[in-house]
Amino acid sequence: MTYLRIREAAGLLGVSDDTVRRWIDQGRLPSIRLENGRKGVRGQDLAEFAREIADAPEPGVTVAASARNRMRGIVTRVLTDTVMAQVEMQAGPFRLVSLLSRESVEELGLEVGSVAVASVKSTHVVVEIPEIS
C-alpha cells in the first residue's frame, strides 16, 4: 500500500499543499495519519480522487478553429469495445470513419442517427489525379 505526504499528493495533482489540505478538511479527500504523526493520503484514495477531478472543463463557445475541412453529416454506425470506438458518418456523398475513445463517444452521446460535424485536420493528405474518360 502506498502512502503519500500532502506535499507529494499536491505535486502529483499539480496543486498547492494548501489546496490538498482544504480538500481533506472539506471531506473531499480522505486522509490518514502517517508514522510521523502528520496527515497524509493513501495512494488508492488519491488515484480515485484524481479521476473524479479530471473531468475536462467545458470549452465554452469557440469563435474560430484551425481545421478548415468541417463536414456536417449523420452518424451511420457506431462500434465500441472496452476502450475504443469506430464511428462512421455520411456527409453528403462522403463516408467518413473516425477512431476515437469509447469515453468520447459516450460523452458526445453519439449513436446511429446523431447529427455531428467531422473536422478534418491532417499533416498527411494524399492528392490524386483521376483518369479522365
DSSP state, 59? Answer: -
Q: Residues 63-75: pLDDT tens digits?
A: 767 767 888 888 9
pTM of the model: 0.55
- Which residues fall within 8 angstroms of residue 3, CB to CB, at 6 or more apart? 32, 34, 40, 41, 42, 43
Reference 85, options 72, 69, 104; nearest CA is 104
Q: How far apart are CA 105 and CA 74, in angstroms?
A: 14
CA distances from 110 to 30, 74, 119 (A): 36, 10, 15
Q: Residues 86-130: pLDDT tens digits?
A: 999 888 778 889 999 999 999 999 999 888 888 887 777 777 887
How sure is the predictor about 32, in pLDDT bands with cuts at 50, 70 and 90? very high
What the chain holds in terms of domains, given with CATH numbers, is 3-53 (1.10.1660.10), 69-120 (2.40.50.100)
Q: How far apart are CA 10 and CA 76, in angstroms?
A: 45
